[in-house]
C-alpha cells in the first residue's frame, strides 16, 4: 500500500463525507414530505390528479437515475429561462438534490403505499369512531402503523440513496467519490485501486451505521407487537 498517498487521500475523503451526507439527507427529508403527498393522492380516488401522479411515478421508476440527473441538469435551466429566471450559476449539487428528490419521492410513495395497504382498515374506522378528527387520525393512527410496515423497505431505500450520491460527480458535484476521481485524475491514475478501495470501505461503514440505526428504530416501533405476543 502506498502509505504516503493514503496519508493525504484518506483525510481528504473523510473531509468530503459531510457533503455526501448532505446529498443524502436533504433529498431524504424532502422526499419524505413529497412522497407522503404523492401517496395520499395515489391511495385516493381515481381522478385526474391520480393519473398525473401515476404517470409521473411510472416515468421516474422506469428511467435510470443518471438520465434523470442529466435531464434536470440540462432541462431545468431551460425551463426557468421561460420565466426569465437565470439559474445557470446554481451549483451542480443543487441540481443533484432536485433530481434525487424527484426520483426518491416516487419510490418513497410506493413504499409508503405498500405500508398503507398493509394497515388494517378497521384501525382507521376505529380512530374515526372514537372521535379523532381526520388530521388526528392521520398522525396518530395511520402514520405510525404505515411506518411500522414500511420501515424495512425504507431502510433499503435510504441505503440505496446514500450509495446513489456517488453518481453526483457525473454532473460535477464534488462529493466523496468525486474527490477520489479528482485525485486519481491528478496523479495520472497511480494508486487508483487503493483510493477506490478506501472510498469503498468508507461507504460500507456509512451503510452499516445506517442499517444499524434503522434496525434500532424498527425494533422500537415493534415494541407493542412483542408485548402482545
Partner 1 sequence: MELDYDFMISDFPTVLAGLPKTLVLTFWSMLWALIIAIVFGSVILSRVPVAKQIVVALNTFIKGVPLTVQLLFCYYAVPFVCKWLDSIGVYDFNPRHIPYFPAAVVAIACNFGAYITDVVVSSVKAVDRGQTESAAAVGMTPLQTVVRIILPQATVISIPSMTNYFIWLLKGTSLASIINVAEMLITAQISAADGYQYLEAYVDAAIIYWAVCAAIEFGCDKLYKRVGFFMQPSRA
Q: Which residues bind partner 1 (CB under 8 A)?
A: 58-59, 61-68, 70-71, 74-75, 78-79, 81-82, 159, 163-167, 170, 177, 181, 184, 189, 192-193, 196-197, 199-200, 203-205, 207-208
Query: Is the CB of 12 or the CB of 65 nearer to partner 1?
Result: 65
Query: Is the CB of 141 or the CB of 176 nearer to partner 1?
Result: 176
Give the nearest distance from C-beta 67 to partner 1 in angstroms.
5
Query: Is the CB of 37 or the CB of 212 nearer to partner 1?
Result: 212
Give the nearest distance from C-beta 65 to partner 1 in angstroms.
7
Report yes or no: 3 and 76 within 8 Å, Cβ to Cβ.
Answer: no
Number of H helices, E strands in the chain: 11, 0
User: Over the range 16-35, which residues count as b (16 or more CB within 10 Å of their CB) and which as e?
Assistant: beebbeebbbbbbebbeebb
Report yes or no: 207 and 155 within 8 Å, Cβ to Cβ.
Answer: no
Give the nearest distance from C-beta 102 to partner 1 in angstroms.
13
Query: Is the CB of 23 or the CB of 127 nearer to partner 1?
Result: 23
Query: Is the CB of 144 or the CB of 189 nearer to partner 1?
Result: 189
Per-position DSSP letters for 150-187, written without gaps between them: HHHHHHHHHHHHHHHGGGGGGGT--SHHHHHHHHHHHT
Report yes or no: 158 and 214 within 8 Å, Cβ to Cβ.
Answer: yes
Give the nearest distance from C-beta 52 to partner 1 in angstroms.
16
Give the nearest distance from C-beta 138 to partner 1 in angstroms.
29
Amino acid at each position: 500500500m502506498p502509505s504516503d498517498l493514503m496519508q493525504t487521500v484518506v483525510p481528504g475523503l473523510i473531509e468530503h463525507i459531510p457533503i455526501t451526507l448532505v446529498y443524502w439527507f436533504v433529498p431524504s427529508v424532502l422526499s419524505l414530505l413529497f412522497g407522503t403527498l404523492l401517496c395520499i393522492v395515489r391511495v385516493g380516488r381515481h381522478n385526474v390528479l391520480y393519473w398525473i401522479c401515476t404517470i409521473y411515478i411510472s416515468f421516474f421508476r422506469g428511467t435510470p437515475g443518471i438520465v434523470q440527473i442529466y435531464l434536470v441538469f440540462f432541462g431545468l435551466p431551460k425551463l426557468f429561462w421561460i420565466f426569465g429566471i437565470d439559474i445557470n450559476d446554481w451549483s451542480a449539487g443543487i441540481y443533484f438534490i432536485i433530481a434525487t428528490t424527484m426520483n426518491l419521492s416516487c419510490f418513497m410513495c410506493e413504499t409508503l403505499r405498500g405500508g398503507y395497504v398493509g394497515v388494517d382498515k378497521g384501525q382507521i374506522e376505529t380512530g374515526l369512531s372514537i372521535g379523532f378528527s381526520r388530521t388526528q387520525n392521520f398522525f396518530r393512527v395511520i402514520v405510525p402503523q404505515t411506518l411500522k410496515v414500511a420501515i424495512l423497505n425504507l431502510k433499503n431505500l435510504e441505503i440505496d440513496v446514500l450509495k446513489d450520491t456517488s453518481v453526483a460527480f457525473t454532473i460535477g458535484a464534488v462529493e466523496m467519490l468525486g474527490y477520489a476521481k479528482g485525485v486519481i485524475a491528478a496523479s495520472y491514475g497511480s494508486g487508483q485501486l487503493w483510493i477506490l478501495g478506501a472510498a469503498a470501505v468508507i461507504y460500507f461503514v456509512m451503510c452499516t451505521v445506517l442499517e444499524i440505526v434503522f434496525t434500532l428504530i424498527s425494533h422500537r416501533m415493534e415494541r407493542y407487537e412483542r408485548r402482545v405476543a
